[in-house]
Structure 1
């Protein structure tokens, strides 16, 4: 059984009552960390804590405090340091905790920040001009916590087979990618099978994970978005052995997590890529309402 906690909203009412919002049309933000100019990526799937590269942190004169940070990509931990510094994120520069890592979140940027770290109560990513026939769908939003409080990413939360499934959005990669645990949940609920193709996909901070194509007999739907195939990360938290293969049997070396006991569904996550969002004009993060709203055809 699949239960999506979604709501279709009447657009005229939303537009009339909408609070002031920040509209992101260019995801590059040029600002200052202390006195150093930095170019940040505003990314809908990134943590709320601004995270710089080591080089940018050095230019900003940040001195590591006692609190380290870590960003986990499957079994790979990207370790970093943090300190309190002044940084402008669309408002006047203010003291905030800033992290940094050796590798950039995305090549070409000095750092990254998610919508939860911006001062605005409502953050709307405009993907393209609105078109006739669009409707707006709301997904419950929850931050995934982290060090120093709600410094994690802003996730959508769905329920599939009575289990939570986190949803994030990636505007700089076409593919939609599910963690191993999420792939197993989707395969069970939507009659999924794994192709015998094998590749690697970059997730964040240059970390690549092995992936295979997961094909679904029933679509994975989030409002107007309906996916019948996506990439499954086969070597993450969770055990993908339960997914039937359309080709040869899965390579047992691919599946590295076979822990006994109940799986932690809080790690199950699907990152929706740009290709799946082709029919959408905007993604809105409404912090007071604790909603992520998609406006799509």
Structure 2
């Protein structure tokens, strides 16, 4: 790996060589000896190779963040499961019982818990991504590494947390008579597509949050609004059925990426949630959202690589 050389300080105003560009002779000397400007943004293929070389750091950092998250709590890692279960209990009381959104929905408790767990995965990934750079400035300024390691590792930590919750979800499904079937295997591609979508969105939010840290204060309200429109506590197919809604509204409800991934997981795990309740072309929507968010988020984040931690 070539050595790096920090760019020379600008010369005093009015003297030759003043400005941001180094002296041509110094630049030629540095290039002749294999030196490069420190902190310069690499090409996209090179950036990807650097990320791959640091894959072990990404997984270790994700595991460490997840372990440290609840170290001061007496129940420790159990809160990874207790928190979404408590949220599901609150939503069941308010929406399922008081507002009666469970009407027309079979196996409402597995239906609700699945929606809460999957949306929590999305919400926590976005929130962690928003603070990925602004909340780790010490690490960003002290060490040289591809900054995309941070949002990726945070999303990986959320995926690990979801897997703990999925173990509890399996117990709930078995308790309500949902026996394992071949359709359960569809949960793996659905989770893989959602992870790519979450990571791409987290990278977008990481760049925006690095420039505007106050965005982290606004995101909980945005995510809560998104949750209410994603069919977490109610069935979108039941709401749409029999109502003369404008076509654009139906398209937005069915194409909502959060609703798409939630419905795919429900279809995979719950027998009473059939293909008739899925929006048309659901796998195309899931793959398209993952590809769009993954590619756009990755390139968008990479373009500001040399600016993270400065200013």
TM-score, normalised relative to structure 2: 0.24
In our comparison, the structure showing a higher alpha carbon Rg is: 2
Compare the two structures and name the one with the higher strand fraction: 1
Q: Which has the higher contact order (CA 8 A, sep 6+)?
A: 2
